[in-house]
Structure 1
Amino acid sequence: MPNELTCQRQIASALLEKNERTIHRWCKDGILTVAGCNKQGTPMFDIDAILALCGDLKSTDEEIVDLIVAADTGSAEAQNDLGIVLLQAGRQAGALTLFTMAADQDYPDAMHFLYQCHQSGLGTEVNNTLAMMWLSKAAAHGHKIAQVQLDAIQKLVEQAL
C-alpha cells in the first residue's frame, strides 16, 4: 500500500507534462518506479520522485505537496490551484490538463482559466471558439468575471451589427 505522498498516473502526467504512455514507458525503463497500488489496484507514484524529475517544483514546498495529494483525490479546487502553480512555473500544458480535470467537475474558476488558455495559446493552440465556449460555461456556472466579460463581448458584437 502506498503512503499518502503518492499520486496516480494522471496527476504525474500533468506535473511532468508527459502523456500517460510516456509515464508507462519511463516505468519500464526504470526512470520512474511505481510506489505501490491503491485499493482499486491503480499504480501510484511517489510525489518526491515526480517532483525531482520536474526540476522547477520542489517537494520541500509543503503547500505544493498538499495540493498534489488533494488534486489526486479528485478535489476540483486543488486541481485548479495546482494548475495555477504549474502555469506560474511555465508548465502550461500541465496546467491545461489540471484545469480541464477541474472544469469537468463544473468548477467555474477552472473554466475561466481554460478560456484564458485557449484565448492566449497557453499550453495549447489559440482557439477562439473553445475560448468562448469556456467563457460561456464559466459565466453560466456563476463566475462573476466571466459574466462581465461575456456581457462586454455581447455589447461589442451588438454595436458592430
Structure 2
Amino acid sequence: MTVTPPSTTTSISLDTAAIISERSKRTWQRRLAEGGITRLADDARGRSMVCLTDVAALICVPLQGDDVEVLLDADAGSPAAQRDLGQIFSSHEKHEIAVHWLRLAAEQGDADAMQCLGAAHAAGEGVERDENLALIWLAKAAAKGHPIASHQVKGLLP
C-alpha cells in the first residue's frame, strides 16, 4: 500500500468514510490494503485519511451544493458543520448517522445540536427512546438560551 502525500486532493478520515457510507471501518481498511482506494498522509490528529472521490459514490445520502464543504468541515471538527451534517442525514431518515454527528457537535457545546439530540432521544430516532437523556440534552440547550429547547423541557417535566 502506498501513501499519497496531501496535495490538492480532498480527503476525509477513514472513520468518517465508514460512518457516511454505512460500511464498517474494517471494510474500508480492507479496500485500502487491496489498493481499491487512495490512502493519503495522516492528518495532524493522526487520523488515517482517504481520498473523498474514492468514497463519494458510496455515501448513503446525496450531497448537493455546499454539502461537501459541510462534510469536510464536520470531519475537521467544526461543531456547526457537524450539526448541519447531522441535520442533512436526519432529513434523509438516516437517524443513527445523524445522531453521531449531532452528539459530536453537542459535546462541543453547540446548543442547536443539543436540542436536536434531545429531540432524537425523546422520539427514539437513531437511538433508543430515553426521556432522561432527552431532558438532559434539552436542559443543556435551554441553559444556553435555546428557546425551542426551553419549551420542550417544560413538555417533558411532570
TM-score if structure 1 supplies the norm length? Answer: 0.81
Q: 1:9: how far off?
A: 2.8
Match of 1:93 in 2: 96
State the AA in 2 paired with 1:126: R
State the AA in 1 paired with 2:116: F
**Alignment RMSD (CA, Å):** 2.2
Note if contact 1:14-1:93 (Cα within 8 Å) is conserved in structure 2: no
Give yes or no for the alignment of 1:17 onto 2:28.
no
Unpaired stretches in structure 1, ≥5 consecutive residues: none
**Structure 1 residues 33 and 69, CA, compared in 2 at 3 Å: closer, same or farther?**
same
Secondary structure of 1:37's partner? coil
State the AA in 1 paired with 2:71: I
Match of 2:87 in 1: 84
Note if contact 1:9-1:20 (Cα within 8 Å) is conserved in structure 2: yes
State the AA in 2 paired with 1:48: T
Q: 1:36: how far off?
A: 3.2
Q: Which of the numbers 50, 57, 62 marks the counterpart of 1:52?
A: 57
Residue deviations 1:3-59, cap 9 Å, x none? Answer: 45211233223312345455434534556442332245421122232221125324x
2:24 and 2:134 map into 1 onto residues whose CA distance is: 23
2:74 and 2:124 map into 1 onto residues whose CA distance is: 24
Note if contact 2:15-2:25 (Cα within 8 Å) is conserved in structure 1: yes
How many residue pairs align between the two structures? Answer: 153
Note if contact 1:117-1:124 (Cα within 8 Å) is conserved in structure 2: yes
2:37 and 2:122 map into 1 onto residues whose CA distance is: 35
Q: Which of the numbers 101, 125, 128 marks the counterpart of 1:125?
A: 128
Unpaired stretches in structure 2, ≥5 consecutive residues: none
Which portions of structure 1, spanning 4 or more consecutive aligned residues, are displaced by more than 6 angstroms?
A: none
Secondary structure of 2:109's partner? coil
TM-score if structure 2 supplies the norm length? Answer: 0.82
Match of 1:35 in 2: 40
Residue deviations 1:46-99, cap 9 Å, x none? Answer: 2232221125324xx341111011112211000000111111122211111100
Match of 1:138 in 2: 141
**Structure 1 residues 119 and 151, CA, compared in 2 at 3 Å: closer, same or farther?**
closer
